[in-house]
Amino acid sequence: MKISKILKVGLILTYLVLGLTVSLWAIRTKTFTGPRLKSRETLRKPRGTSITKTLKIPQSFQVVDSKFRYVTVGNEVHLKVDVTFNKNVDLSSISLGNNFRMLRRNQAGFWVDVHKTHDSIQGFGKKVIWSSNEWAAEGALKLHLRGTIKSTGGDFLDCNGDGKAEGGYPPPYESSIFYSVL
């Protein structure tokens, strides 16, 4: 019984040594399986062909930037937000208080609408300006946009930048938090 185990171990060691020897010989003599290049000529581009092609990947409709700023109207300080998109905006698709909202964090920590009735928007191609027609609210503010906003080409807003239009489904686009201190 011991002899059969010794023979098995010896046979396994022989196979390992033989396999290692063949591998080393193949590396030393550079004999590998697979296609081999015969000259540098085969690496050159054939005449009349193009190696690279430029693919035009359609870009989804997204927010590029949002900037908060104060504007003085008479003796009051008002808040404006400049929102820049990567495509022209269809202003008829914007509904203030619905898909284009300014939110403020209340004392309980919930995000609530700042102004509902006196806000206004202006649009200039890729830029939309939200204006508060009342005094600026203090505290933490953020802009909240839903995916039902459309470009002039009919694309819904891609709120999270994944390349797919949300079309009204979560998640919304939310700007970074702006801390308003007057």
Tens digit of pLDDT for each residue in 90-142?
999 999 888 999 899 999 999 998 866 678 899 999 999 998 887 777 889 99
Contact predicate 85/126, CB 8 Å: yes
Q: Is the peptide bond before 46 cis (omega within 30 degrees of 0)?
A: no
62-102 residue pLDDT tens: 999 999 999 998 888 888 999 999 999 999 999 988 899 98
Query: Mean of the pLDDT values across residues 15-43?
Result: 56
Can you tell me the distance from the alpha carbon of 156 to that of 158, in angstroms, rounded to the nearest whole number? Answer: 7
Taking 50 as the threshold, does the pLDDT of residue 42 lie above it? no
Q: What is the DSSP string of 71-133?
A: EEETTEEEEEEEEEESS-B-GGG--BTTTEEEEEE-TTS-EEES-SSSEEEEEETTEEEEEES
Q: Which fold has domain 63-180?
A: Immunoglobulin-like (2.60.40)
Closest-CA residue to 61 (of 177, 160, 170, 176):
160
